[in-house]
Amino acid sequence: VSGGLQAWIARGKESPFELTEVELDTLQPNEVRVEVTATGVCHMDLEGKDIVPLPAVFGHEGVGRILEIGADVTTVQPGDRVIMSYAACGHCGSCAADAPYHCEDSWDITFSGLRADGSHTMREHDKPVSAAFFQQSSFAQEAITPARGLVPVDSNIDDTLLAALPCGVLTGAGVIACQFGFRGGEDLAVFGVGAVGLSAVMAAKRLGARSILAVDVKPTRLALAEELGATHTINPAQEADSVARIQELFPKGLPYVVDTSGNSTAFNSATRILKTGGRMAVCILPQPMETFSFQPFEWFTRAATLEAVSFGNAEASSFLPQLIDWYDQGLFPVDRLVTVYPFSDLNVAVEAAMAGEAIKPVLDLRAS
């Protein structure tokens, strides 16, 4: 048992996170204990409050140094610097086929607040609390996580930038590189240029896109999208008819559209700008009861494909090193998305993200 650790706990759906003291369970043979040095903050850490039984410790983009390994762990050693990536069971059909992003148990092991065997990894004042969020719960000074989800790092890139990568950035870059298999020389539109959309823009530029159209209602985000590779921008709040404007720019339509907006107007606009045989990938978790009306005719006449994206179809142990390599070469400037806060400022970081002031907030645990 590892005790006296600071962690941010969520007790209510509307209330801010509270700093508390927790203890970690002893390690199971396949697990490691990580000293968390940095962790990303993602909107799933807020949406998780509606899914995971509370009280719960969230955080799912942890980076750190391994303190202890379980008896069966052979892939990493104490002292190794690692990213904790998304959770996968390791033995279902998808995991066995090297497609952990489609793990059949993904929902439960991500959101149950428990290990896969139903046990708790964390206690607060001797009472078990939900943790094991994405099988890590990195809003704490230390985390227990299965060794299979770890990605070792041997770059000089700062921990706060590594912590920006494993969820939204992996998804946005992965949809281009892994899901679409983008080969360059092609056109792409991205609806919504937050962390996921901007990562799609950067990956498309890296892979040699011909045109990259960014669509967003926030002028500052469109300006950043342009700096990161967008060749065209449209602000629907400033256009009488943004679809007509896009059709003027791309009369034959676009072969690839990425939707990160989660908005039905954007969804229907995106539909109408696809070219024949085009593909549209939806990258954001919809509200469970949400319904959109749409025109099947628009899809049929284009023979278009609508795809949901799970972690960008990216296998983290190979794709995260690829993104780090791109960053090291100056070809994937993820630092432009990141705002760093001390660990003590989680609620400040959340507010800045909600207000659209911080694109990718990251907590630095070394600073507190």
CB 103, min distance to Zn ion, A: 3
Identity of the residue, 141 or 310, whose beta carbon is nearer to Zn ion in the bound complex: 310
Identity of the residue, 103 or 153, whose beta carbon is nearer to Zn ion in the bound complex: 103
Among positions 51, 92, 217, 249, the unique one binding Zn ion when judged by CB under 5 A:
92
Q: What are the beta bridge partners of residue 39?
A: 62, 363
Identity of the residue, 42 or 222, whose beta carbon is nearer to Zn ion in the bound complex: 42
Which DSSP string corresponds to 298-326? HHHHHT-EEEE-SGGG--HHHHHHHHHHH
CB 92, min distance to Zn ion, A: 3
Identity of the residue, 40 or 278, whose beta carbon is nearer to Zn ion in the bound complex: 40
Identity of the residue, 134 or 256, whose beta carbon is nearer to Zn ion in the bound complex: 134
H or E, element range at 68: strand 62-69
Interface segment toward Zn ion; rule CB under 5 A; list 83-91, 142-150, 252-260, 343-351? 83-91
CB 156, min distance to Zn ion, A: 25
The verdict on 95 binding Zn ion (CB under 5 A) reads yes
CA separation for the pair 365, 326 (Å, rounded): 26
Interface segment toward Zn ion; rule CB under 5 A; list 66-74, 93-101, 135-143, 342-350? 93-101
Give the residue from 151, 122, 161 showing the smallest Cα distance to 37: 161
H or E, element range at 69: strand 62-69
CB 353, min distance to Zn ion, A: 12
Site for Zn ion in 32-51 (CB under 5 A): 42, 44
CA separation for the pair 230, 172 (Å, rounded): 14
DSSP state of 82: E
Give the residue from 149, 108, 151 showing the smallest Cα distance to 318: 151
Identity at 223, one-letter amino acid code: A
CA separation for the pair 214, 10 (Å, rounded): 35
The verdict on 103 binding Zn ion (CB under 5 A) reads yes
CB 66, min distance to Zn ion, A: 22
The verdict on 99 binding Zn ion (CB under 5 A) reads no
CA separation for the pair 244, 312 (Å, rounded): 30
Size of the site for Zn ion (CB under 5 A): 8
Identity of the residue, 165 or 215, whose beta carbon is nearer to Zn ion in the bound complex: 165
The verdict on 89 binding Zn ion (CB under 5 A) reads yes
The verdict on 5 binding Zn ion (CB under 5 A) reads no
Beta-strand (E) ranges in 109-264?
A: 122-124, 127-129, 142-146, 150-152, 187-191, 211-215, 232-234, 254-259
The verdict on 167 binding Zn ion (CB under 5 A) reads yes
CA separation for the pair 286, 299 (Å, rounded): 20
The residues binding Zn ion (CB under 5 A) are 42, 44, 88-89, 92, 95, 103, 167
